[in-house]
Amino acid sequence: MATSLRVRVSIFWHFGDDSSLTGFWNNSYYIAVMNLDEIKRLRREYAYGELRTGDLHSNPFEQFNMWFQDALNANIDMADAMTLATVSATGVPSARIVALRGYDEQGFIFYTNYQSNKAVDIKHNPHAALVFYWKELDRQVRIIGTVRKTARGESGDYFSSRPMQSNLVQVASRQSQVVSSKEVIKDRINRIKQKHKNSSLVCPPYWGGYRVFPTEFEFWQGGLERLHDRFRYQWKDNSWKISQLEP
């Protein structure tokens, strides 16, 4: 008998003629039941290429830069999107997608509200992991490191370069806090617009950047017949040590 997956959701949707999905109401929740055999068949072959030791740059930042440029040249949509994983003071992990907003040989920069859940995690546990996944190139980059706030001047410069509407939302939003409706935020935005009708917005103290300072990189290249190529860079004894990992 096929195994089923039950998913608790708060809305109803129509499955049409898709025989792999069925559903039924259970009290006030809709239970979607999906045949797990369908999930098991969701697979693809990796055939883009290989990553060999001789292909690697000795500096992982340079290696990342080459791959990032490849992703941009391939016109991958949102090549700058990265998963940011943090851990709370009680050891509970969280992950979300954020935008890479700069990198150099110090680290990788993203911006957020300093009162958000991710910022609270970082305050209590200043370590994080990043993941870039470029499906079109069969490539993944994992980065582990420590996290510190960027300088206020750096955050202010980036804030000033952003579109007005984006900044209005950041100033108005109490990110990650419960809100009764979107209208509450829209009302705040309108009040801020009126207040700054003849002046520009200034980067608020509760918003700014973080830089992840890497201590470890892993470059993953999908391979034929699941023989993936994996190389890890670790910062040890004031230099980057490279190791090849099994798939």
Q: Cα 80 to chain center, whole Å?
A: 9
How far the first Cα of the chain sits from its last, in Å, is: 32
Q: Identify the DSSP state of 225.
A: G
Report the C-alpha gap between 235 and 240 in whole angstroms: 5
Q: 46 is written with which tokens?
A: 């990796």
The label of the residue with tokens 């001047």 reads 153
Nearest to 228 by CA among 49, 67, 35, 95: 49
Q: Catalytic one among 8, 41, 226, 232?
A: 226
CB 158 within 8 A of CB 99: no
Find where tokens 């990788």 sit: 108
- Amino acid (one-letter) located at 163: P
Secondary structure element (H or E) that encloses residue 97, with its range: strand 93-99
Report the b/e string of 9-33 with b at 16+ CB within 10 A. eeeeeeeeeeeeeebeeeeeebebe
Q: Strands, DSSP E only, in 114-156?
A: 127-134, 139-149
Instruction: Establish whether 174 is a catalytic residue.
Output: no
As annotated, the active-site residues are: 226
